[in-house]
Amino acid sequence: MNSEKIRTIITTDGEVDDQNSFLRYLLYSNEFDTEGIILTSSVYHYAGNPEKQIEPYRYTGTHGVM
C-alpha cells in the first residue's frame, strides 16, 4: 500500500453547505497533503438583493455592484 498522502487543494465559497464540508475535511485533513485553501465568493451573494429582501452577508465592498 502506498503511504504517500494525496495532494489536495480545497475551494470553498463560504456558504453554509461549504462550511460544513470544509469542517468535515478538517476532521480528516491529517490524511491529506493540503497544498492550498481557496475562498471564492459571488459578489451578488454577499451583497444581498434588496428586490428579493435578501440582506447582505459579510459583504466588505461597495464597488462593482450593479
| Torsions phi, psi for 13 (to 5 deg) | -105, 0
Domain boundaries, the chain: 6-52
Q: Provide mean pLDDT across the span 38-61.
A: 70
Higher pLDDT residue, 52 or 59? 52
Which pTM value belongs to this model?
Answer: 0.56
Higher pLDDT residue, 7 or 45? 7
pLDDT at 33: 95
pLDDT 10s digits, 9-43: 998 887 777 888 889 999 999 999 999 999 887 65
- Three-state SS annotation for 5-52: CEEEEEEECCCHHHHHHHHHHHHCHHHEEEEEEEECCCHHHHHCEHHH
Higher pLDDT residue, 31 or 49? 31
